[in-house]
């Protein structure tokens, strides 16, 4: 058999490669549940369908409850994008609260951590007009999202995730994320409805530190001192 002309061989090789890539690509998946429609986008097929289903199940479970409890006007349509080029873990953009992006490498390495979706879903519910300034401090925004993950997550234990029960050196109420989430959980148990009040003020652009005093009769600093003692710590010397 005679050899194939080189240009034609190269063309066929490229065509075969394109077919192979196309075979790995995955079409968008759109689901509607509890009046909310989610489009799941994983164009590269970076996560298998089993993980896709876990992500969607977790989102619908958490989001429906978060939305009902905190903001019934939250978006009814959202997009979850699996992006291999993103090197973080996951985020929801404050430019468009209805778009969630997930790094697939994180879930490949930590397959039990799908409740990261519960945290990000709460950001969609929050939909605050500000983020990272005095009217929406980062520590409080992220603390509420971790409070929600603890409360509405499907299986946080599978991801080795839990709110801390002890306070480490140099931690403070404004440390953020789990530390702030644990403080909020304690404070809300002492003053039921506190987190909802904080959330509503953040969404309405009316938050200020004085809200803590109005809602609890104590400043956030005083509440933190009491929380430290409740967790077996010692009140700061200048407290």
Write down the pLDDT at residue 26. 77
Same-domain check for residues 66 and 87: yes
Asked if residue 173 and residue 116 are part of one domain, the reply reads no
Would residue 12 count as lying in a domain? Answer: no
* Distance between CA atoms of residues 119 and 109, nearest Å: 19
DSSP string, 3-65: PPPHHHHHHHHHHHHHHHHHHH----EEEEETTEEEEEE-TT--S-HHHHHHHHHHHHHHHHH
Residues 6+ apart with CB under 8 A from 166: 231, 232
CA separation for the pair 132, 85 (Å, rounded): 25
Of 95, 127, 159, the residue that ends a domain is 127
Residues 112 and 165 both lie in one domain = no
- Please check whether residue 136 lies inside any domain of the structure: yes
Cα–Cα dist 190/183, whole Å: 11
At residue 239, does pLDDT exceed 80? Answer: no
Domain that holds residue 180: 130-239
Which residue among 100, 127, 154 closes a domain?
127
* Residues 111-132 pLDDT 10s: 999 999 999 999 999 999 999 8
* Count of structural domains, the chain: 2
| β partners of residue 99 | 79
Distance from C-alpha of 198 to C-alpha of 212, rounded to nearest angstrom: 8
Do 91 and 121 share a domain, yes or no?
A: yes
Q: Which residue in 125, 145, 33, 118 sits closest to 71, CA to CA?
A: 125
Q: Which of 129, 153, 124 is nearest to 207 (CA)?
A: 129
Given 85, 102, 127, which residue is the final one in a domain?
Answer: 127
The CB density around residue 20, as the number of other CB atoms within 10 Å, is 9
At residue 156, does pLDDT exceed 50? yes
Q: Do 143 and 87 reside in the same domain of the chain? A: no
Phi, psi of 42 (to 5 degrees): -140, 75
Structural domain contains residue 3:
no
69 closest CA partner among 129, 122, 140, 128:
122
pLDDT tens-digit map of 57-88: 999 999 999 999 999 999 999 999 999 999 99
pTM across the whole model: 0.86
Rounded to an integer, the average pLDDT of 191-210 is 97
What is the C-alpha to C-alpha distance for residues 84 and 106, in angstroms, rounded to an integer? Answer: 10
236 and 137 in a common domain: yes
Same-domain status, 226 and 214: yes
Q: Do 207 and 134 share a structural domain?
A: yes
Cβ count near 49 (within 10 Å): 11
Tell me the sheet residues that pair with 82.
Answer: 102
- The answer to whether residue 138 sits within a structural domain is yes
Same domain, 34 and 119: yes
For residue range 203-237, what is the model confidence (pLDDT) as tens digits? 999 999 999 999 999 999 999 999 999 998 765 54
pLDDT at 15: 36
Output the CA angle 199-60-78, nearest 5 degrees: 75
Confidence of residue 181 (pLDDT cuts 50, 70, 90): very high
Does 46 lie in the same domain as 142? no
Residue with structure tokens 């066929």? 12
The verdict on residue 6 lying in a domain is no
Over residues 3-57, the pLDDT tens digits come to 333 343 444 334 333 333 434 567 999 999 999 999 999 999 999 999 999 999 9
* Residue 199: inside a domain: yes
Verify that 116 and 70 share a domain, yes or no.
yes
């Amino acid at each position: 058999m005679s050899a194939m002309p080189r240009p034609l061989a190269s063309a066929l090789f490229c065509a075969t490669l394109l077919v192979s890539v196309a075979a790995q690509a995955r079409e968008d998946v759109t689901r509607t549940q509890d009046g909310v429609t989610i489009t799941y986008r994983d164009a590269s097929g970076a996560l298998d369908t089993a993980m896709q289903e876990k992500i969607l199940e977790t989102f619908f479970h958490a989001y429906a409850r978060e939305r009902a409890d905190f903001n019934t006007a939250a978006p009814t349509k959202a997009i979850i994008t699996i992006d291999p080029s993103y090197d973080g873990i996951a985020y929801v953009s404050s430019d468009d609260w209805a778009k969630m992006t997930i790094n697939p490498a994180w879930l490949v390495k930590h397959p039990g951590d799908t409740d990261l979706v519960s945290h990000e879903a709460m950001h969609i519910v929050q939909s605050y007009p500000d983020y990272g300034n005095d009217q929406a401090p980062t520590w409080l925004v992220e603390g509420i999202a971790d409070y929600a993950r603890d409360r509405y997550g499907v299986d946080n234990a599978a991801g080795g995730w839990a709110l801390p029960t002890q306070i480490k050196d140099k931690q403070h109420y404004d440390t953020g994320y789990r530390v702030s989430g644990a403080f909020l959980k304690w404070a809300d148990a002492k003053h039921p409805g506190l987190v909802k009040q904080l959330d509503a003020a953040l969404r309405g652009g009316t938050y200020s530190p004085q809200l803590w005093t109005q809602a609890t009769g104590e400043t956030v600093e005083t509440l933190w001192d009491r929380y430290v003692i409740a967790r077996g710590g010692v009140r700061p010397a200048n407290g």
